[in-house]
Amino acid sequence: MKPANYRSIIIITTGLLLSNCKSGTITGEATEKNTTELNIVELTPTQAKTSGVITKKPEKRNLREMLHVNGVVDVPPQNLVTVSCPMGGFVLSTDLLQGMKVRRGQIIAVLQNPQFIEIQQEYISTRHRLVYAEQEYKRQEELSQQNVAAQKIFQQTTAEYNALKGACAALREKMLLAGLNPQEVENGNIKSTVQIVSPVSGYVTEVNMNIGKYIQPHEALCEIVNTEHLHVELNVFEKDISRIRVGQKLTFTLSTEDRKERTATIYLINKKISSERTVRVHAHMDKEDSELMPGTFIKAQVEVERNNTWAVPDESIVSDGQYNWLFIRMNKGKKYLETDSLLRFKMVPIQKGKSSDGYTEIICAENPEIANEEIVTNGAYYLYSKLTNVEHDE
């Protein structure tokens, strides 16, 4: 029989064995009579030692079940700042570039506007009137107490004084909002320009101005992002959100860095399902990394649970994409140093469960034929190759 035909027999046999495995038994009497010789590999002790075949019993392990999700690196709203000028003006100077690092309080632009002069003039005028109104108020108050002046005159003086005091306070706040210093204005230092300073330390992500451009009131001058407190925003499908808990650990990699893993902890879970049937999950990174860029796509694995189950090393399982097998050692009492007998290994079908940390759950492991036998943990593919390449006569 040719190798291709022999492989067909292996696959047919495997289908029968898998059927028995699902029902709780791996081999039956009739099956064993017809398939035992087809699923057994014999090696001399020297062959086994040279090929590196190692056997070991399956063991109970706490396997992690990982949920694969996608997301992005993001920043809190308070760390993303849009800089604007409430009164607007012409850009007199700026040297900002996208990607530039700025510090809190650094001058990032100078704006010029004739309205700056007008508000300062109005403030000085109102302040002088307030000084006179305050003096008149005190004089009328004293006369009123002595019953010298009419009460109506005192009331009018009081109203005018309070109105000017409120107007002066409002103009002062307006100047502060525009970036003008009231103290300098009170000292007679009136100017037509204001300096725009950065409210936070971070990196410039957008620049919407150039020299000579007129900036409308409340129009954005630039955008600055503080990358000191980046976090992870995950998009979890509706069907999986019940498995997500606050405090769960996750690992993630950037879409451009598959090898470098970072860790984070789930901190918040949104209570709204989006139109795409996903839920936003907020996670804090265990270690800050200011080199990361907001908006970067990531691939994450969330550890949703751990189960104590029978498991074998990943390299113990042989798979061709359709079936999965283990090799168990039949004559356990023999040692590799013995030269007068053959070592026999039997190929049995299994069903794979969850995998993590280099181990895979075997569903049929509760069957004594696997759970209590020694399995091949190294050299399984060598045995499979030797088994499928054997030539048989027709």
pLDDT tens profile 340-349: 578 888 888 8
The residue that leads in pLDDT, 392 or 149, is 149
Q: Which amino acid is at 357?
A: D
How far is the C-alpha of 272 from the C-alpha of 238, rounded, in Å? 10
Least confident of 133-142, 214-223, 336-345: 336-345
Write down the pLDDT at residue 367.
58
Pair 365, 317: CB distance under 8 Å: no
pLDDT of residue 37: 59
pLDDT at 19: 43
Predicted pLDDT of residue 6: 42
8 and 84 belong to one structural domain = no
Q: Could you tell me if 266 and 219 lie in one domain?
A: no
Has residue 71 got a pLDDT over 90? yes
Same domain, 97 and 215: yes
Single-letter amino acid code for the residue at 371: A
How much is the pLDDT for 266?
94
Share of the chain above pLDDT 90, in %: 36
**Where residue 393 falls among pLDDT bands split at 50, 70, 90?**
very low
Same domain, 186 and 158: yes
Residue type, 10: I
Average pLDDT value over all residues in the chain: 81
User: Distances from the Cα of 215 to the Cαs of 38, 111, 161, in angstroms?
Assistant: 83, 9, 37
DSSP code per residue over 196-232: EE-SS-EEEEEE---TTPEEPTT-EEEEEE-GGG-EE
pLDDT digits (tens, 9 = 90+) for 102-111: 999 999 999 9
Helix, strand, or coil (residue 16): helix
Token digits of residue 232: 């992870």
Last residue of a domain, one of 225, 240, 272: 225
Residue 81 has pLDDT above 50, yes or no: yes
Residues 181 and 244 in one domain: no
Within 10 Å of residue 23's Cβ, how many Cβ atoms?
A: 8
Asked if 358 contacts 378 with a C-beta cutoff of 8 angstroms, the reply is: no
Helix extents (H) in 244-379: 368-371
pLDDT band, residue 164 (cuts 50/70/90): very high
pLDDT at 284: 93
* Least confident piece of the model among 37-51, 338-352, 354-368: 354-368
- Which residue is it, tokens 């902890």? 265
- Is 375 exposed, middle or buried (CB count within 10 Å of its CB: 0-12, 13-18, 19+)? buried
Closest CA relative to residue 361, chosen from 320, 318, 308, 323: 308
Q: What pLDDT was estimated at residue 13?
A: 46
Which of the listed residues 285, 306, 327 is the one where a domain comes to its end?
Answer: 306
Same-domain status, 259 and 333: no
Report how far residue 335's alpha carbon sits from residue 67's, in angstroms, rounded to the nearest whole number: 43
Q: Which residues contact 392 (CB under 8 A, 6 or more apart)?
A: 1, 6
| Cα distance between the two ends of the chain | 4
Specify if 280 maps to a domain. Answer: yes
**DSSP conformation letters of 51-88:** TT-EEE--EEEEEEEEEEEEEEEE--GGGEEEEE-TT-
Whether residues 274 and 249 fall in one domain = yes
Answer whether residue 8 is part of any domain: yes
Per-residue confidence (pLDDT) for residue 27, from 0 to 100 = 36
Cβ count within 10 A of residue 39: 22
pTM above 0.95, yes or no: no
Whole-number Cα distances in Å, 146 to 61, 136, 302, 330: 96, 15, 82, 121
118/152 same-domain check: yes
| Tally of structural domains, the chain | 3
CATH number at 268 reads 2.40.30.170
- Within-domain flag for 158: yes
In a domain, 352, yes or no: yes
**Same domain (yes/no): 212, 116:** yes
Calculate mean pLDDT across residues 252-277. Answer: 88
Q: Which stretches does DSSP call E strand in 113-212?
A: 193-197, 202-207
- Reported for 167-172, long-range contacts at CB under 8 A and 24+ positions apart, including other chains, are 167/126, 167/130, 168/123, 168/126, 168/127, 168/130, 171/119, 171/122, 171/123, 171/126, 172/123
Q: Among the ranges 87-91, 142-146, 178-182, which has the highest mean pLDDT value?
A: 87-91
The verdict on residue 394 lying in a domain is no
Verify that 154 and 263 share a domain, yes or no: no
* Structural domain that includes position 298: 67-78+227-306
In a domain, 53, yes or no: yes
Name the pLDDT band for 333 (thresholds 50, 70, 90).
low
Q: Residue 381: which CATH number?
A: 2.40.420.20
Q: How confident is the model at residue 92 (pLDDT cuts 50, 70, 90)?
A: very high
pLDDT at 344: 86
User: Among 65-79, 119-133, 324-338, whose mean pLDDT is lowest?
Assistant: 324-338
Q: Which residue, of 190, 225, 260, is where some domain finishes?
A: 225
Report how many helices (DSSP H) and strands (DSSP E) the chain contains, helices first.
Answer: 8, 22
What is the 3-state composition of the chain as percent helix, strand, coil, each rounded to the nearest 5?
35, 35, 30
- What CATH number does residue 199 fall under? 2.40.50.100
Q: How many CB atoms lie within 10 A of CB 363?
A: 15
Average pLDDT over residues 330-334: 65
Structure tokens at 376: 């091949």
Q: Which residues pair with 225 in a beta bridge?
A: 80, 203
Whether residue 227 has pLDDT greater than 50: yes
Question: For residue 259, what pLDDT band results from cuts at 50, 70 and 90?
Answer: confident
Compute the distance between CA of residue 101 and CA of residue 115 in angstroms, rounded to an integer: 31
Percent of the chain with pLDDT over 70: 83
Task: Encode burial over 307-338: b for 16+ CB neighbours within 10 A, e otherwise.
Answer: eebbbbbeebbbeeeebbbbbbbbeeebebee
Q: Within 10 A of 80 (CB to CB), how many other CB atoms are there?
A: 16
Q: Which amino acid is at 116?
A: F
Q: Are 100 and 207 in contact (CB under 8 A)?
A: no
Within 10 A of 81 (CB to CB), how many other CB atoms are there?
17
The predicted structure's pLDDT at residue 62: 75
- Asked, for residue 393, whether it belongs to a domain, the answer is no
Domain co-membership, 197 together with 102: yes
> How large is the average pLDDT for residues 193-212?
93
328 in any annotated domain: yes
pLDDT of 338 above 70: no
Which of 141-150, 188-197, 325-334 shows the highest mean pLDDT?
188-197
Domain co-membership, 295 together with 324: no
* Each residue's pLDDT tens digit, 271-318: 999 999 999 999 999 988 877 888 889 999 898 876 777 788 888 888
Q: What is the mean pLDDT of residues 131-138?
A: 90
